[in-house]
Structure 1
C-alpha cells in the first residue's frame, strides 16, 4: 500500500502559490489583449469590405484550427530568429494566447452581434444613426449581455490551455509542480494537490458561469455559445 505524505508539499507550498500567480498572470494578460483584439477581428469579418473581412477570417480560422502548442513554439523559437529579437517565455506565452484567444472571442462576438434582430438595425437607421454608431450604442450593449456566459466559459478553457507554457520553462502552476515533484520525490502528492488547485479555481469560475446563465434566463436574455 502506498503511504501518502503531504508534508514536503505543504512545506514548499509557496512554490505552488507562485505558480498559480504565474498562471493567473498569463490568463489575465491573454484576456486583456484577446478581448479587444477579438472584437476588432469580429467587426472586420462582418464588414462588407472584402479587404477587411477576408484577412480577418483567415486569422480567425488559422488560430482556431492550429494547435496552440505549435503556435507557442513558433513564437518562442522561430520569431526571435526571423526578427532578431529577445523572446522571454512570458512574452511568447502572452503573444500566443492573446492572439489564439482573440480568434475564439471573435467568433463569440460575431455570433452575439448576428443574434441581434434585424429590426434593431432598421430602427437605428430610421433615427439617422450610421452603422458604427448603431453598433456602439445599440447592438453591442445587447450582444455583450448575451455573450457573458460564453466569454466566461472561454476564459476557463484559456486557463486550462495555459498549462502548455511549462514547455517553454515559464513558471506557471504546472511548471512549479514539476519542479517540486523532482525536488521532493513525491510526484503523486504534488500533482494531486496541483489538480485540486486547478479544480477549485476552475470550478469556482464554472459556478460563476452558471449563476450568470440563471440570471440571464430569468431576465429573458438568451446566451450565445
Structure 2
C-alpha cells in the first residue's frame, strides 16, 4: 500500500472544520423531524381514516425512496418546482428533516402504543380532554421510553449527512474530497474523514448509553 499522510496532514484542520456543518445539519434536521414526527405519529394513531392515510402515504414515500434521491429532487428540482434555487445547506436540512420525520414518527407511534392504555382510559374517565391527555400524560411517558431510539436516529443522521457532498455542502466529506483534488491523493483524506466520522459516532454512542443508563436508574 502506497500511503503517505505527510502531504494531507496539514489540511486536517480544514477537513475538521466540516464537523460543525455535519452536526448542524444533523441537529436541525433531527429537531424538525422530531416536531413533525410527533404530529405524524398522532395522525397514525388517529381514529380519522383520512389522517391515517396521509400519514401512511407520507411514510411510504420517504421510507421507500433513497435519501440521496430526495436530496437531489429538493435541491436540483427547486428552480423548476418553486422557481427559486434553494441553498445547498437549506436543501440538506429540509431533505433530511422530511426523511427523518417518517422514521421518527414510527418510533414515537411505537412509544405511544407501548404506554399502558389504562392511564389514558383513566384520564378520559376523569374528563381530561384528548389533547391535554396526550401532551401531559401519554407523550412524556412515550418519549422517556423511546429516547435511546431517538438518539440512534440522530447518530444515523450524522453518518448519512455525508451524502450532502453531492450538492456541494462543505461538510467533512466534501472537504476531504477537495483536499484529495488539491493533492491528487484521495485515500489519505478520505481515511481522515472516516476517522472523524468514527470518533463522532463513538462520542454520540457514549452519550446515548449514558442517557439510557440514566433512564434506567430513574425507573
Task: Report the equivalent of 1:11.
Answer: 10
Name the SS for the 2:71 alignment partner: helix
Moved more, 62-71 or 208-217: 208-217
Which runs of 5 or more structure 2 residues have no equivalent in the other structure? none
RMSD value, Cα:
1.5
Moved more, 105-114 or 203-212: 203-212
- For 1:78 and 1:186, how far apart are their aligned partners in 2? 33
TM-score (norm 2): 0.94
Name the SS for the 2:8 alignment partner: helix
Asked if structure 1 preserves the Cα contact closer than 8 Å seen for 2:107 and 2:150, the reply is: yes
Correspondence 1:115-126 to 2 at 5 A: 115-126=114-125
Give the CA deviation at 1:79: 2.8
Asked if structure 1 preserves the Cα contact closer than 8 Å seen for 2:42 and 2:109, the reply is: yes
Deviations 1:127-179 (A, max 9, x none): 22011111011111111111110000011111111111111111111011000
- For 1:29 and 1:137, how far apart are their aligned partners in 2? 25
Task: Report the equivalent of 1:37.
Answer: 36
Task: Report the equivalent of 2:82.
Answer: 83
TM-score (norm 1): 0.91
Give the CA deviation at 1:8: 3.1
Correspondence 1:195-210 to 2 at 5 A: 195-210=194-209
Which runs of 5 or more structure 1 residues have no equivalent in the other structure? 221-225
Correspondence 1:95-174 to 2 at 5 A: 95-174=94-173
- The number of aligned residues is 219
Give the CA deviation at 1:41: 0.7
- For 1:25 and 1:100, how far apart are their aligned partners in 2? 16
